[in-house]
Structure 1
Amino acid sequence: MPDQINHTAHDNWFSRRGLLRTVAGATLAAVGLAAATGAPALAADPIKVGEINSYTRLPAFTEPYRLGWQLALEEINAAGGIDGRPVEVISKDDAGKPGDAVTAANELVSLEGVDLLMGTFFSHIGLAVADFANQRGILFVAAEPLTDAIVWSKGNDYTFRLRPSVHMQAGMLAEEAAKLDATRWATVAPNYEYGTSAVEAFKAALSERKPDVEWVDEQWPPLGKIDAGATVQAMAATEPDAIFNVTFGPDLIKFVREGTTRGLFEGREVVSLLTGEPEYIDPLGEETPEGWIVTGYPWDKIEIPEHAAFLEAYQAKYDDYPRLGSVVGYATMMSVAEILKKAGSTETDAMIEAAKGIEVPTPFGTVTYRAADHQSTMGAFVGRTAVEDGRGVMVDFGYRDGADYLPPEEEAAAMRP
């Protein structure tokens, strides 16, 4: 039986009141939703949230993410909004480009008059929007970017981050990797902020737990352009005992296929970041390599009341199963709502103070945004890959509370500028 989360009482955000059965568009009109669902009448002055993400660049994650925040938004407005005011989301696509993301953020603030920003996927884009938020003095709730820099070395007063960072997830994986009979390690990661920081974090975490580790090879393919044959050949030549993989999406599929064909994984342990997420394991299907140690989201096997309520609502609305992006989108929108409720205002300073230490209900249980570094304590599932009925799944998994993989708050605060 999978490990379970210590969860809080079922929060009223998970109420099923007024859920619509049709898929909403990218931006939802809150007042119209209230009328359609018979929810309490809301004031005409909406709270505007600017949302930015890489929808056209990485739809496998961002489209479920959008469905997640739309579901949360419906629940929020159906329950009366924030102090009687509807929440309106104005969404923009950054096309996977930092410059486009900053342009979108500027348009949202200057032209649309949004009260705060949320979203982003890629780490370098998250950092660009965080810098914009700092310069313009506007709250930014970063949904997905995993780089440690966004809350530590480049952290700022205006940015808060939901997802567990590379430091946190690398620590979870290193905990399992340290148990392996493997000394010689090779790594492969996309050559940009997320990949480089993930490898750095995993090497530090594993070396701390197992000082005799030897790092024999590093491969740095460009994002989305991996030469899988050359990468696999180079790694095999160094004869590692184990591999740490950070590739994802199409690059992961190419790496798995080429590695399987050339026997790279035979007799070797593989530890792989994010691979157990449906966004990345589903496309592998029966080609999913078995026995990899991964972080992920075994959506159909989680026995948590909060998740059960989320799953029921999500499937009822979309007639589909959630991906991890769905959970992230939902939890990000709920984070915004809780901050607004606690602040009692859309003044930026009031929202920042409200966000420090705030507790937010999510499908994985209640998480806390730490006051010292603005990192949430959201965790991740860790397990092994397997193939069941022709599809890749996670087995032997358990939830790792993010709070257990963060440095003490005083240490984290010292890492910020």
Structure 2
Amino acid sequence: MTTRAGWISRLTVSTVCSLAALGASAQQTIKIGEINSYKAQPAFLGPYKNGWNLALEQVNAAGGVLGKQLEVVSRDDNGNPGDTIRVAQELIAREQVQLLFGGFLSNTGLALTDFAKQKKIFFLAAEPLTDKIVWADGNKYTYRLRPSTYMQVAMLVPEAAKLKKKRWALVYPNYEYGQSAVATFKKLLSAAQPDVQFVAEQATPLGNVDAGAVTQAIADAKPDAIFNVLFGADLGKFVREGNTRGLFKDRSVVSLLTGEPDYLDPLGAEAPTGWIVTGYPWYSIDTAANKKFVDAYKAKYHDYPRLGSVVGYSALMSIAEGIKKAGSVDSDKLAAAFKGLNVQTPFGPISYRAQDNQSTMGAYVGVTGMKDGKGVMTSYRYIDGASVQPSDAEVKKLRPAD
């Protein structure tokens, strides 16, 4: 007969062995936490997830990093800063991830930036564009991949100034990203064109634009040109209503992000033409880096990449290179390794500035056109992010000491 003491002894041994096996299994991978607003922003974030999954597959197929496979544990934050912090805490406590990346909306990105500072955990902000992430709220543990709001607006302002339009209307989503984009546009265009006037300003609720009222208010102001910062479903409603009411007829439009296929393609035959935009004309960029990426993406997903795909891919590749350079997943060592880190991306080589933890990734600036019933970018050129970033002296004033 089995004694109670013998049963307990065997149970204890079994438990210890199981825990040891789990520990050994955990040590074989580097666990990375990823947080994003997949349900709230599927147009960008579906392709984004495909991008980092492609990079993950390539890195692991090549042997992983530091002799270990990378493992990504992903969570949805519902586009809500409170949920963002809740899932970040869960990833660290329950999943025992060793660093974080992701973010889409500027408010959730800022929540993660503060979380990284408080918990002293490395965080790569892949997509959030707000300048605060690397300037006012910047900290040693937070880096950002995409060109910031300031950088992308700075790419568009010279084109806006060339139009020599005096009366401008502004339309934007009323949260951090939209507010900072418009503030930067006003500042930079006023410096380039002192006689400029801003005759209408429409700040709309994110995801809930009243396109009819917005369009009418802009038309009533009789602007010579429009600066648009709306994206996603809000952009679609604005374009549709503007086309119907003739808002864009004989009127110049400069528009942030609209050339990204994530937002341009859903517009279909309603896509605007003649708008000056930032975007990603993946179909006609003939660089070796882009062709290699497009071919690999199509082979895996039987679909073409969007800008989100490039961001997701480049974020995971940045993390792999950072861990490799640091020789560790320790957050302090990673933060040090990312300073000056060089990474190969579909846009070519980028680096992470030591001054403010911002990457030098750039963007394509061009003009929207129509081909085969679908919006495209024409007359575009790539602008290196390093060429539109403030000087070291300016950054020092904008960013607190780490």
TM above 0.5, one fold? yes
Where do 1:109-188 residues align within 5 Å?
109-188=92-171
Q: Could you say what secondary structure the match of 1:187 adopts?
A: strand
1:59 equivalent in alignment to 2:59: no
Rounded to whole Å, the distance in 2 between the matches of 1:289 and 1:346 is 46
Does 2:195 match 1:212? yes
Give the corresponding residue for 1:408.
391
Q: Distance in 2 between matches of 1:131 and 1:117?
A: 13
Query: In structure 2, what is the equivalent of residue 359 of structure 1?
Result: 342
The aligned counterpart of 1:376 is 359
Which residues in structure 2 correspond to 1:318-333 (within 5 Å)? 318-333=301-316
Match of 1:393 in 2: 376
Aligned Cα root-mean-square deviation (Å): 1.1
CA distance in 2, matches of 1:263, 1:86: 55
Residue 103 of structure 1 corresponds to 86
Aligned to 1:236: 219
Contact 1:66 1:329 in 2 (8 A): yes
Partner of 1:291: 274
Match of 2:6 in 1: none
What is the match of residue 316 of structure 1? 299
Deviation by residue 1:103-136 (Cα, 9 ceiling, x = unmatched): 1111111111111000010000000011001000
Q: Give identity over the alignment, percent.
A: 60
Q: Is the 8 A contact 1:372 1:410 kept in 2?
A: no
- Of the three residues 44, 47, 51, the one matched with 1:68 is 51
Paired with 1:77 and 1:411, the residues of 2 have a C-alpha distance of 40
What number of residue pairs does the alignment pair up? 376
Structure-2 separation of matches of 1:232 and 1:125: 29
Amino acid at match of 2:200: D
Instruction: Give the partner amino acid of 2:72.
Output: V
Flag the structure with higher helix content. Answer: 2
Counterpart in 2 of 1:37? none
Q: Give the TM-score normalised by the residue count of structure 1.
A: 0.89
Equivalent-residue separation in structure 2 for 1:342 and 1:155 (angstroms): 22
Secondary structure of the 2:227 match is strand
Amino acid across the alignment from 2:231: F
- Match of 2:90, SS? helix
Q: 1:257 matched to which residue of 2?
A: 240
Aligned residues of 1:43 and 1:85 also touching (Cα < 8 A): no
Q: Answer yes or no: is 1:203 the counterpart of 2:190.
A: no
SS class of match (1:88): strand
Of 38, 62, 65, the residue aligned with 1:82 is 65
Q: What amino acid is the match of 1:168?
A: M
1:83 shift after superposition: 1.8
Cα distance in 2 between the residues matched to 1:44 and 1:157: 26
Match of 2:33 in 1: 50
| Structure 1 residues not aligned, in runs of 5+ | 1-41
The one-letter code of the counterpart of 2:94 is: L
Query: How far apart in 2 are the matches of 1:273 and 1:284?
Result: 15
Cα displacement (A) at 1:243: 0.2
SS of residue matched to 2:173? coil
In structure 1, what residue type is equivalent to 2:48? Answer: Y
Moved over 4 A (4+): none
1:168-217 Cα distance to aligned partner (Å, 9 max, x none): 00011101001003011010001111110111111111111111111111
Shift of 1:410: 3.4
Q: 1:221 is aligned with what amino acid?
A: T
Instruction: Kindly state the Cα deviation for residue 44 of structure 1 after the two structures are TM-superposed.
Output: 5.1
Write the deviation string for residues 289-347 of structure 1: whole angstroms up to 9, x where unpaired.
11000000101010111111111110011110000000000000001001000000111
TM-score by length of 2: 0.92
For 2:209 and 2:332, locate their aligned partners in 1 and report how far apart those are by CA, in whole Å.
44
The answer as to whether partners of 1:43 and 1:84 remain within 8 angstroms in 2 is no
Return the offset for 1:234: 0.6
Are the structure 2 counterparts of residues 140 and 43 from structure 1 closer, same or farther at C-alpha, using a change threshold of 3 Å? closer
Higher Rg: 2
Match of 1:178, SS state, is helix
Quick one: distance in 1 between partners of 2:348 and 2:57?
A: 20
